[in-house]
Amino acid sequence: MSRKDRLSAFAGQAGFTVRDESGVLRAVRVPCLLAGGVVGTCTIETSYNPASRKPDNQIGGDIHAVRITTDEERDGRVYQADGTPIGNYVAGDGKTWSNISIKKGWQGNPEEDATASDLIHRYAKHIVGAVSEAGYSETSFLAKLGPFKIPNTFEARAAIGPVQGRICDQRIAIIGLGGTGAYVLDLIAKTPVKEIHLLDSDDVEWHTFMRAPGGPTAEEIESVRKGSLRKVNYYHSKYASLREGIHPHAVRVDSPSMFREFLSVHPVDFAFVCIDQLTDGDSARQDVVYCALSEAEVPFIDSGVSITVEDGAVRGAVTTSAYEAGSVAWKDAIPNARVEGNVPGYRNVQLAIATSSYRK
């Protein structure tokens, strides 16, 4: 394997790219540790002359430095896992780039790099190695952001990349954004699924904030005062800074034909049903949703939490069940689907908290 091939092979393993442009060799989006142990990426350029601040073709001579440009503006340095800077600082503007030198061999007997590829390869191994030593067993995630707008360092730290990869092309629907659906969204939004479709026709009301993840901004509170904030738009804006692929739909699933039409435009692979049955005697709207999902052969999970007060005690009910594509087993299993009977559905409001009986 040639020296250049060795660099390319390492780049593929670590998740960065190598470019040779106008005689300047660059390693781009190289995983690195920034000040404070933050994981980031940087660009490494071939032998660099601190005096002229231009690339130099000298390898292993008096000028034995590379230019490091961090993609996130901090102090321009890259670091070891123990917090010490990598290499000998030669020059830089102190904000966006620095020149560092790492002698090959040892100080009393430095060795020369034969090619620019050797030089870049050696620096890249040193810099990426610090990331691994800090506990990040994978680094390729930095070059593969997927739907996220920030590096998914959790995936790398927990070494769950291969498992996460199984769901990266999934398109998910969350039907109902009450106290249960909102927390389902909070969890699903932090997975690398391709698309998340939010279906809810309701506006945000004051009680929405009391059973939702996080808290509203002053602007969002003012929008509710004016009565002009849809739930789907509220939750979309909450996660828009974190990731892409969240699609708000202010619609109510009220018939199989309506849902078929929706799926013809927005196909989904899986759904979470998080809707409630408000009062005794209501028609079971859940039945319509379950029928629509069964006819569309979309597998789904039905989940909800409800509370009631009986004899001065607060009681909670939790129901969760999963159904394969096309299944109609929900007709005998989900309380919501029973218009009659002793098993309660999700009444009152859906909550995402655990409750227990308590008497004064």
pLDDT tens, N- to C-terminus, the chain (360 residues): 566 678 888 888 888 889 887 777 889 989 888 888 888 888 888 765 556 666 555 544 445 567 788 887 777 788 998 998 887 666 655 554 455 555 555 445 545 566 778 778 888 988 998 888 887 766 655 555 678 887 776 776 666 766 777 888 899 999 999 888 999 999 999 999 999 999 999 999 998 998 889 999 999 999 899 877 899 999 999 999 999 999 999 998 878 888 888 988 999 999 999 887 544 545 456 778 888 899 889 999 988 777 778 888 887 777 788 999 998 888 776 654 444 434 444 544 444 443 333 333
**Burial class, 229, CB count within 10 angstroms (exposed 0-12 / middle 13-18 / buried 19+):** buried
Inside any domain, residue 350: no
Residue 87, sorted as left (phi over 0), alpha (psi -120 to 50) or beta, turns out to be left
What CATH code is carried by the domain that includes residue 175? 3.40.50.720
In this structure, the answer to whether residues 180 and 301 fall within a common structural domain is yes
d(CA 14, CA 125): 9
Say if residues 96 and 69 touch (Cβ distance below 8 Å).
Answer: yes
pLDDT at 316: 76
pLDDT at 251: 92
In this structure, the answer to whether residues 147 and 179 fall within a common structural domain is no
Inside any domain, residue 276: yes
Three-point CA angle 339, 341, 344, nearest 5°: 80
In this structure, the answer to whether residues 103 and 184 fall within a common structural domain is no
In this structure, the answer to whether residues 137 and 279 fall within a common structural domain is no
pLDDT at 324: 93
Long-range contacts of 24-28 (CB under 8 A, 24+ apart): 24/55, 25/116, 25/117, 25/120, 26/120, 27/120, 27/123, 27/124
Q: What total of structural domains would you count in the chain?
A: 2
pLDDT at 304: 75
Domain that holds residue 80: 3-156
The single residue listed with the structure tokens 């540790």 is 33
pLDDT at 258: 87
pLDDT at 112: 57
Report pTM: 0.62
Inside any domain, residue 161: no
Inside any domain, residue 358: no
Inside any domain, residue 308: yes
Backbone angles phi, psi at 218, to 5 degrees: -60, -35
In this structure, the answer to whether residues 74 and 183 fall within a common structural domain is no
In this structure, the answer to whether residues 128 and 253 fall within a common structural domain is no
d(CA 39, CA 33): 5
Residue 244 is given by DSSP the state: S
DSSP for 312-343?
A: TEEEEEEEEEEE-TT--THHHH-GGG-SSSSS
In this structure, the answer to whether residues 312 and 177 fall within a common structural domain is yes
pLDDT at 344: 47
pLDDT at 176: 92
Report CA torsion sign: 346, 348, 351, 357: negative
In this structure, the answer to whether residues 125 and 197 fall within a common structural domain is no
Q: Which residues of 213-227 are buried (b: 16+ CB within 10 A; e: fewer)?
A: eeebeeebeebbeee
Q: Give how far Cα 75 sits from Cα of 31, 36, 40, 66, 206, Å.
A: 16, 10, 13, 16, 45
In this structure, the answer to whether residues 203 and 302 fall within a common structural domain is yes
Q: Which of 101, 127, 156 is the last residue of a domain?
A: 156
